[in-house]
Structure 1
Amino acid sequence: MTATTRSNEPGKRSSSGRMIARVVWMSIKLLIIPVLCVAALIVGLAIGYVVLGDKPLSDVFDFNTWKHMYDLVFAEGG
């Protein structure tokens, strides 16, 4: 019996390597839009709150700031 030899050419990849590369590429393509949307939301909140509202940037990431805004918007009009 003779052992089969594998081709160690640098240009050829195994089928499992191609499958892993396709899965990684598809994951990147699926995640890029949500990641960009979240980044745009954070940048938009920061610009709007700091530039338009003349408030410090640290208040953008404070939970109590957004709770207060929620309470103002959805308050009962008495």
Structure 2
Amino acid sequence: MKATSRPNEPNRRSSGRIIARIIWTSIKVLIIPVLCIAALIIGLAVGYVVLGNRPTSEVFDSTTWKHMYDLVFAESG
């Protein structure tokens, strides 16, 4: 029985393949949180504009959301 010869170079990945794999893994890990944040922003806009019949310019105004927070968490007295 004769042993098969192995190449002298070890089986290494090129640096380009490693970088591509790191980028692809990063994309897979980050896609869910990014989609969740996008869904939150779109849901806030649709709920405020369509259901609330308010202008779109007020959706991302911080005083609007502070006022809503105060309405929801105000102490009843």
**TM-score, normalising length: structure 2:** 0.80
Q: Work out whether 1:53 is the aligned partner of 2:52.
A: yes
- Residues 1-78 of structure 1 aligned to structure 2 (within 5 Å): 15-78=14-77
Aligned length: 65
Segments of structure 2 that go 5 or more residues without pairing to the other structure are 1-12
Q: What's the offset of the Cα at 1:58?
A: 1.0
Find the aligned partners of 1:24 and 1:52 in 2 and give their Cα distance. Answer: 40
Q: CA RMSD in A?
A: 0.9
Deviations 1:11-62 (A, max 9, x none): xxx5211110100000110111111111111111111000100000111100
Identical-pair percentage = 75
Find the aligned partners of 1:45 and 1:73 in 2 and give their Cα distance. Answer: 16
Find the aligned partners of 1:56 and 1:72 in 2 and give their Cα distance. Answer: 20
Segments of structure 1 that go 5 or more residues without pairing to the other structure are 1-13
**TM-score, normalising length: structure 1:** 0.79
Structure 1 stretches of at least 4 aligned residues deviating more than 6 Å after TM superposition? none
